[in-house]
């Protein structure tokens, strides 16, 4: 196995307020979204994807993007990420005065790019590049996620060269990080290892972030493979909520508490508090009115923390 030693801490992007909720039919109130953000921050999250600035008719759950931003706690130790698809979205995010990082999306295939944002794959790279430039103008940072990096719901297999060239183009445009997203949950650990290694080499010293959906149960194995191959940032969602309204059959993101359990038990620091994440899972399950997909959220951690230690901490 090439790649890093399993010792460096991993950074997390908590995506539950955006990717976690966007596909849920139950409309979650602005106050509940802000409570989720508070829970995430209290659990140790320091990068949070708080909302997306998209057409509310296409994604009704994100219609309160401005209101969510206005209610964010005053924490300059937290990076507040707003997902944007075009310059109009970028202007909305910048105008909030609260978003500190723009997240752009480039899509690996033409058919998915058309369904997701009404443009070609090449057009989506150009749009992402324009968003990155606009972020820099406004004094913000910008990163790009390459959607359907491991397979497309419409076109099937996606070549590694295609994703590699897109990553290079986005890095050249000034992105501070490149994310590889398995939007429909079809990746396997060998594919992940190969693509992360290639992209990491191509964009060094920029970090590679990974975004996995657990649609076919390979999410955690893919996270492990990605870290072994040198990815240093992981997107995850408390409770394992998540999905894409434009990707048929998409299921939840890898659950924050499941990934944290795996990594911490393996001696890899996460900066996150597992017990608080589990408490947040139970709270969020109440909000959503259903049990959430996360495994550790149901089973609890191991070994159980002693009560008196929790109280002292």
CA distance 46 to 44: 6
Q: Report DSSP state, residue 207.
A: P
CA distance 196 to 63: 34
Q: Mask: binding to Zn ion, 200-219, rule CB under 5 A, as x and -? A: --------------------
Burial 232-263 (b: 16+ CB within 10 A, else e): bbbbbbbbbbbbbebbeebbbbbbbbbbbbbb
Shortest distance (Å) from residue 214 CB to Zn ion: 11
Of residues 93 and 251, the one with the C-beta less far from Zn ion: 251
Q: Does residue 244 carry a catalytic annotation?
A: yes
CA distance 232 to 206: 10
Of residues 22 and 79, the one with the C-beta less far from Zn ion: 22
Shortest distance (Å) from residue 200 CB to Zn ion: 21
Range in contact with Zn ion (rule: CB under 5 A) among 16-24, 66-74, 150-158, 286-294: 16-24
Of residues 134 and 145, the one with the C-beta less far from Zn ion: 145
Q: What does each C-alpha distance from 82 to 19, 93, 116 come to in angstroms?
A: 11, 6, 17
Whether the link from the prior residue into 243 is cis, omega within 30° of 0, is no
Catalytic pick from 69, 152, 170, 244? 244
Of residues 19 and 257, the one with the C-beta less far from Zn ion: 19
Return the residue nearest Zn ion (CB atom). 19
CA nearest to 191, candidates 151, 146, 240, 231: 151
Q: How many residues bind Zn ion (CB under 5 A)?
A: 1
Shortest distance (Å) from residue 112 CB to Zn ion: 13
Q: What does each C-alpha distance from 113 to 45, 50, 127, 206, 234 come to in angstroms?
A: 30, 23, 11, 25, 23
Among 19, 49, 177, 258, binds Zn ion (CB under 5 A): 19
Shortest distance (Å) from residue 19 CB to Zn ion: 4
CA distance 247 to 107: 12
Of residues 20 and 297, the one with the C-beta less far from Zn ion: 20
Range in contact with Zn ion (rule: CB under 5 A) among 11-19, 121-129, 168-176, 266-274: 11-19
Shortest distance (Å) from residue 153 CB to Zn ion: 12
User: What residues are annotated to the active site?
Assistant: 244
Chain residues in the site for Zn ion (CB under 5 A): 19
């Amino acid at each position: 196995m090439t790649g890093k030693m399993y010792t460096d801490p991993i950074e997390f992007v908590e995506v539950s307020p955006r990717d976690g909720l966007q596909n849920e039919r139950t409309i979650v109130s602005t106050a509940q979204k802000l409570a989720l953000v508070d829970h995430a921050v209290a659990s140790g999250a320091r990068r949070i994807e708080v909302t997306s600035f998209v057409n509310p008719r296409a994604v009704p759950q994100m219609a309160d993007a401005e209101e969510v931003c206005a209610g964010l706690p005053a924490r300059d130790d937290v990076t507040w990420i707003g997902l944007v698809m075009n310059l109009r979205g970028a202007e909305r995010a910048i105008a909030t005065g609260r978003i500190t990082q723009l997240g752009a999306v480039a899509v690996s295939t033409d058919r998915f790019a058309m369904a997701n944002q009404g443009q070609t794959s090449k057009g989506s790279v150009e749009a992402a590049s324009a968003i990155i430039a606009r972020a820099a103008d406004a004094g913000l940072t910008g990163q790009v996620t390459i959607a359907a990096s491991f397979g497309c719901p419409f076109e099937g297999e996606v070549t590694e060269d295609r994703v590699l060239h897109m990553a290079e183009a986005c890095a050249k445009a000034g992105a501070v990080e490149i994310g590889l997203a398995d939007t429909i949950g079809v990746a396997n650990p060998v594919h992940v290892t190969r693509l992360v290694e290639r992209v990491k080499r191509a964009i060094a010293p920029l970090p590679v972030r990974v975004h996995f959906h657990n649609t076919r149960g390979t999410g955690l194995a893919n996270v492990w493979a990605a870290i072994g191959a040198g990815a240093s940032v992981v997107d995850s969602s408390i409770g394992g909520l998540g999905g894409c309204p434009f990707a048929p059959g998409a299921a939840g993101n890898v659950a924050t508490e499941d990934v944290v359990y795996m990594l911490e038990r393996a001696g890899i620091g996460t900066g996150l508090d597992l017990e608080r994440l589990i408490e947040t899972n139970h709270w969020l399950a109440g909000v959503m009115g259903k049990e959430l997909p996360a495994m550790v959220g149901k089973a609890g951690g191991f070994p159980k923390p002693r009560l008196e230690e929790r109280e002292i901490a």
